[in-house]
Structure formats: structure tokens, C-alpha cells
Amino acid sequence: MKYTSPSSEKGIHTDFKNNMTYGEYLHLDTLLSSQERLSGHHDEMLFIIIHQVSELWMKLVLHETDAAIAAIQADDLPASFKKLARVTRIQEQIIQGWDVLSTLTPAEYIEFRDALGQASGFQSYQYRMIEFALGYKTGHILKIYEKDPELHAQLEKAYHAPGLYDVAIQALRKAGFDIPEELADRDFSRLYEENEAVKKAWMTVYQNVDRYWELYQLAEKLVDIEDSFQQWRFRHMKTVERIIGFKKGTGGSSGVNYLKKVLDHHFFPELWDLRTEL
């Protein structure tokens, strides 16, 4: 294969004295100088970057999920499908991140763990906002963020806002299904509880796919997201177990035991139950 020198590309721009560069557009000076190892240990760089990359992906998950919620509320279900499909692909990237972090051994981690103090992924506010968007509302968590009033207010707003499943249920009602008004306009800060009317509606959708194609597509996109989210949680739990066993987390949680417990929660319970009953 013949080698092509970059110098043969006559149209390549090289003079950026008065133009924006790639690095400036992405603020790479800020991004790449944000990995400060508190211990100086070699493997702390891996630990920092994996968590920073996860936070960037979570920012995009929230960006897409919020847009999908708005699209569903505007009765534009097809517009939500692309965004929800993208969320699932993003989740795949975060899951693979755990595979990289699992190369960190217990002996290596204990060399810099004390430098973390009480800082923990348990405190990730973006992770909490994703849980809120998926309907997993836990009010006691909000206390963690009281240190930052602006952030706390942002989380409070998300805590009381309708989540992805709430707007999906509202879409069922708009489509003529017998969904009680008090359920469609419930207190969204409360953890959603399985409802027979919602299960009956989704059952009808799955039994009449051609008639309710868009609602059927919405339901399957929700299942994709929950499936991927639970895989994310599982890989998180197994990575933590691999690195620290059953020690407490740096943030004071029970660590693996806590992560195992949340695996039992379903965000969209009726969509899983009907698979047994169909």
C-alpha cells in the first residue's frame, strides 16, 4: 500500500493564529489537566479517568433522556425513539468502562484509596439524576448535596419532575387507555408502584402491535434502557467486589451489599411482568 504524506494534502489548514483550533473547541487544556493524582500512585490515573469519562457519558445520557421526555410529552413518540436508542448505546460504553477499571487489583487500589477520603461514586449527582429520570426516587439522598445550594435545587427539581415512565403512562392515557387521572398526575417524587391498569394497557399494546405500533416501540425502548442500566449496575457491583471485596465504600455505603440490593428494583415493572403473562 502506498504511503500518503500529510504534506500532499494541499487543503489542510495549518495557520491558526486567527482561527479556532480543535483543542480550543473542546477545551482540551481544561479537560486534560483535570486528572490530579492525590497520592501520586501510577494507577490512580486509571481510577480518575474512568470515573471522569463515565460522568461525561452520563451527561449525554441526561441530555438525551430529558429530550426524549420532552418529545413524549409533546406527543412526538418517533422523535423520542432515536434519543432513547442512543441512551442504550451510551450505556454500552459505560459498561465497557468497568472492564477497564477491573484491571485495577486490590493491592494497587489500597495504595491510594485513603487519599479519596469520603469521596465516592455513591455521591455522583448525575447518576442520581439518571435514577430520578428513570423513576427511582430516594429523597434521603438529597441531603448529600446540601453543600451546594444551586446543585441541590437542580436535584430537587428533578426529584419532583415526571420521569420517563411517568410520561409513557401519560401517553397511554392520551391514547385512550383507562389510566386513572390520579396516576397520570400523581406525586412524581414518590417511588412508582406497579399498577394493574397500566399493566392491562401495556398488555393490550403488546397484543395489538400493528394498532399501537408507536406505543409498542416506546415500550421496547424502555426495556432496552432498563436492561442496559441493570447490566451497568451489575458490572459496577462485580468490579467493586473484585477490587475491594465486601469492605464498606469510601462514602460509607455497604459497598457490594448495597449494589446487590438495588439490582432487585424494576423501573418499569409492568413491562417485565407482561412477558410472563403474554
Is there a binding annotation on residue 165?
A: no
Is there a binding annotation on residue 250?
A: yes
Is there a binding annotation on residue 113?
A: yes
For the chain, the C-alpha Rg in angstroms (whole number) is 22
DSSP 244: H
CA distance 124 to 103: 22
CA distance 90 to 84: 10
Is there a binding annotation on residue 105?
A: no
CA distance 267 to 180: 20
CA distances from 32 to 13, 35, 52, 139 (A): 24, 7, 11, 35
Is there a binding annotation on residue 144?
A: no
CA distance 133 to 83: 14
Element (H, E) at 276: helix 269-277
CA distance 265 to 230: 9
Is there a binding annotation on residue 152?
A: no
CA distance 60 to 66: 10
Is there a binding annotation on residue 246?
A: no
CA 226 to chain centroid:
10
CA distance 59 to 55: 6
- Annotated binding residues, written as ranges, equal 47-51, 109, 113, 236, 250
Q: Which residue positions form the known binding site for substrate?
A: 47-51, 109, 113, 250
Q: Please give the annotated binding residues for heme, written as ranges.
A: 236
